Amino acid sequence: MMDSMFHLSKTNSIRPIAETGVLPVPSGCVVFPGFCDVHVHFREPGFSYKETIASGTAAAARGGYTDVCTMPNLNPVPDSLASLAVQEELIASQARVRVHPYGAITKGERGEALSDMEAMASRVVAFSDDGRGVQSDSMMRQAMLEAKRLGKLIVAHCEDNSLLRGGYIHDGTYAMAHGHAGICSESEWGQIKRDLDLVRETGCGYHVCHISTKESVALIRQAKREGLDVSCETGPHYLVLDENDLQEDGRFKMNPPLRSPEDREALVEGILDGTIDMIATDHAPHSAEEKAKGLEGSAFGIVGLETAFPVLYTKLVRSGILSLDKLMDLLAYNPRKRFSIPLREDDYSVWDLETPYEINPADFRTLGRATPFAGWKVYGTCLGTVCQGRVVYQKTM
């Protein structure tokens, strides 16, 4: 049994995987620690036509994830114990992997008054208003002071609404050539810059969601050099796609948007030098109808849990840019360290890394189908996932 285990490590010596024998590990296949995604949207309560806790966690399991953190843009928004309890009940009865909810920073994610952060603190992984930026400087300052007092991270979706001007893809060459309204890079990095000043002032632990611009990478690199308590994530799509890959199709529309090739290269550099701590999918399912309205009319968001590893492994590891060890840090170990989410030794997945296949959204467990990776030829098939010793996904042969 030991021979079939994947020994990730030279650089990371503690790899506590107990391959328990509940799943077959065919020869030549590898065993990975349970992945941890700190940024998913499972849409329940409130929007179960897009995704449910059941379908979202089934997708997570199929992607090799045993822990996921759910963003609070729900209905009701988890901004008090009572509204958080609605989601907690669904998680308790429906989830097949561990789900860690975020609490909202502000009531209703409206940016006007703080949520009941203190009451929720022990039951949420961190605080976020993901889906929108906290526009008011003084509101973000208050939130950071309260999060610091409670010993929790502020997890920021950085977006300055005053700079959006109706944009929906990157304000770059593709938008210009095809007559689309662009979202400038500053709408992201401008708010990161503001927040970093507030971190200097308050000493709050701070994590930036889905960074997409080269300026964001530079700002966070500098903040880390200063010793600020700062971390960040980017998504698989920002590392392997840019505006040159855009098609007139809603499955290429997400927020932040696919940026320029220079931005993409800066993100890869940020991964390699440790400026970017982790990769999170921002798994954001919508109905087929909501994604069928082209770049302009479709909802923002793509699904990601079932394609993250195969896409990253194929494009970054097999091509020699990243080691598999480093990819495990980005998908499994670093997010757990930063968000204090333990890895149990009976949390793992089994993968075939040698058989190529085409990504087909019809195979997905998520209710969402919109992915820019449809039709991509990739390596990395999850044969099964074990969470707390229980088989939560097994590929039918």
Kindly list the catalytic residues.
Answer: 282
Say how far apart CA 328 and CA 296 lie, in whole Å.
36
Residue 176 beta carbon to Zn ion: minimum distance, rounded to whole angstroms: 25
Q: Does 233 bind Zn ion (CB under 5 A)?
A: no
The CB-of-210 to Zn ion minimum distance in angstroms stands at: 6
Number of alpha carbons in the 13 Å side-chain half-sphere of residue 282: 29
Smallest gap from residue 320 Cβ to Zn ion (A): 31
Q: Which of 45, 32, 98, 51 is nearest to 301 (CA)?
A: 51
- Contact string 123-162 vs Zn ion (x = CB under 5 A): -------x--------------------------x-----
> Are the C-beta atoms of residues 325 and 9 closer than 8 Å to each other?
yes
**Cα end-to-end span (Å), the chain:** 21
Does residue 62 touch Zn ion according to CB under 5 A?
no
Q: Is position 243 an interface residue for Zn ion (rule: CB under 5 A)?
A: no
SS3 149: helix
Sign of the CA dihedral 38, 42, 43, 45?
Answer: negative
Angle at CA of residue 385, ends 380 and 386, nearest 5°: 150
The distance of closest approach from Cβ of residue 358 to Zn ion in the complex, given in angstroms and rounded to an integer, is 29
- H-run or E-run covering 5: none
109: left (phi over 0), alpha (psi -120 to 50) or beta: left
If DSSP codes are grouped into helix, strand and coil, which group holds residue 65?
strand
Shortest distance in whole angstroms from residue 39 CB to Zn ion? 7
Which DSSP string corresponds to 328-344?
Answer: HIIIIIHHHHHHT-PPP
Contacts of 284 (CB under 8 A, 6+ apart): 40, 41, 254, 300, 301, 302, 303, 304, 368
Instruction: Determine the size of the site formed for Zn ion (CB under 5 A).
Output: 3
Beta strands in the chain (DSSP E): 30-33, 35-40, 65-70, 98-101, 127-128, 154-156, 169-170, 182-183, 206-208, 230-234, 278-279, 348-352, 357-358, 377-378, 381-387, 390-394
Nearest to Zn ion of 19, 277 (CB atom): 277
From residue 287 to residue 326, the character string flagging contacts with Zn ion as x (rule: CB under 5 A) and all else as - is ----------------------------------------
> Shortest distance, CB of residue 362 to Zn ion, whole angstroms?
27
Query: Which residues of this chain interact with Zn ion, rule CB under 5 A?
Result: 130, 157, 209
